[in-house]
Amino acid sequence: MRDVVENVTDLIGNTPIVKVNKICRDLPGDLYLKLEYYNPGGSIKDRIGKYLIQKAIEKGEIKEGGTIIEATAGNTGIGLAMMSISKDFKTIFVIPDKMSAEKVSILNAMGAKIIMTRSDVGPEHPDYYSNLAYTIQKETPNSVYINQFNNEHNQMAHYNNTAPEIWQQMEGKVDAFVAGAGSGGTISGCGRYLKEKNKSIDIVLADPEGSILAEYINTGEKKEAGSFLVEGIGEDYIPPYFDASLVDYAYTVSDQEAFLLSRRLLKEEGVFAGTSAGAIVAAAAKYMKIKGENKTIVAIVPDSSHNYLSKIYNDEWLKDNKII
């Protein structure tokens, strides 16, 4: 039972872990899910929202009444908005136009200013969401661009918080850790901590088909990126703080695999998992088929399906996008 707290941001972290009982019953090994949607803003990004704003304040990058600016797929924005509400900061978020309507509605309700930008342009284009966020910050007095993709404190939030929780909850009985990568903070921060505890722990990357990260891990080559529907993980470039040297296995997961597994997690396990979690559990299953015997595997569930109701559980949308 949690204590009474003074602020909703005090509830961030200490999320539960649950065993998967049905989906992987025919696979060797045991799979456990760390349910990050138990954070008050509904995702793992609450952790960096709190941590990165705290660091910005400590470094004097923002003063009272200032504005937090970020390029985000939505969940980081919610985490930053929650922390900003507690600190009386304004928020501006630049969001690619492929993101779910639910996330945008939540951010609007939290009082954020939303700038929608194109998701069909690459990192060299001025309308690419991180480039546009940088431009807006330069034009906004008393503001800070959090820049999760190029912020060393991103992975430190997970090194200092998420990974120690996993180690303590599992009593050190972890043979493999599975996560996706967008900014790379979760897999790099958790991977480094877990490897320091036990260098034989396998770090496993789940990557959407169309992202370049798994190909880069497996071949060392940077292929041309494609498009994908999974939100929050996968990239078209190598993020600066994505530590590829930590990753032992990388699996590509199709949109169809990710969406259908998200639905199975709810129907068979009662776990309200978002699309990235579907991809992560699919990658965990691929790993288990090859390496799972006598292994204890922990996978991240970054957020819930509540943010994707108009997609995951909308059969017409799924048919239109050739998922079913």
Token couple for 72: 């985000």
Q: What pTM does this model have? A: 0.94
**What local confidence, expressed as pLDDT, does residue 14 receive?**
95
- Quote the mean pLDDT of the chain: 95
Four-point Cα dihedral 315, 316, 317, 320, nearest 10: 120
Q: What number of residues does the chain have? A: 324
Q: Per-residue pLDDT tens for 139-174?
A: 999 999 999 989 999 999 999 999 999 999 999 999
Q: Determine the pLDDT at residue 1.
A: 59
Which of 3.40.50.300, 3.10.20.30, 3.30.420.40, 3.40.50.1100 is the CATH number of 45-148? Answer: 3.40.50.1100
pLDDT over 70, % of the chain: 99
pLDDT at 307 over 90: no
Strand-by-strand arrangement of the 143-145 sheet: 113-117, 90-96, 67-71, 143-145
Residues 6+ apart with CB under 8 A from 267: none
Q: For residue range 60-94, list pLDDT tens digits in order.
A: 999 999 999 999 878 999 999 999 999 999 999 99
Q: What is the dihedral of CA 158, 163, 165, 170, to 10 degrees?
A: 160
Cα–Cα distance, 34 to 289 (Å, whole number): 21
pLDDT at 310 over 80: yes
| 121: pLDDT strictly greater than 90 | no
Among left, alpha and beta (phi > 0; psi -120 to 50; other), residue 76 is alpha
By annotation, the residues acting in catalysis are 45
Q: Outline which parts of the chain fall under CATH 3.40.50.1100.
A: 8-41+158-320, 45-148
Fold adopted by 8-41+158-320: Rossmann fold (3.40.50)
CA distance 175 to 159: 18
- What single DSSP character describes residue 132? H
Return the pLDDT at 2. 64
Beta strands across the sheet bearing 202-208: 17-19, 30-35, 296-301, 176-180, 202-208, 249-253
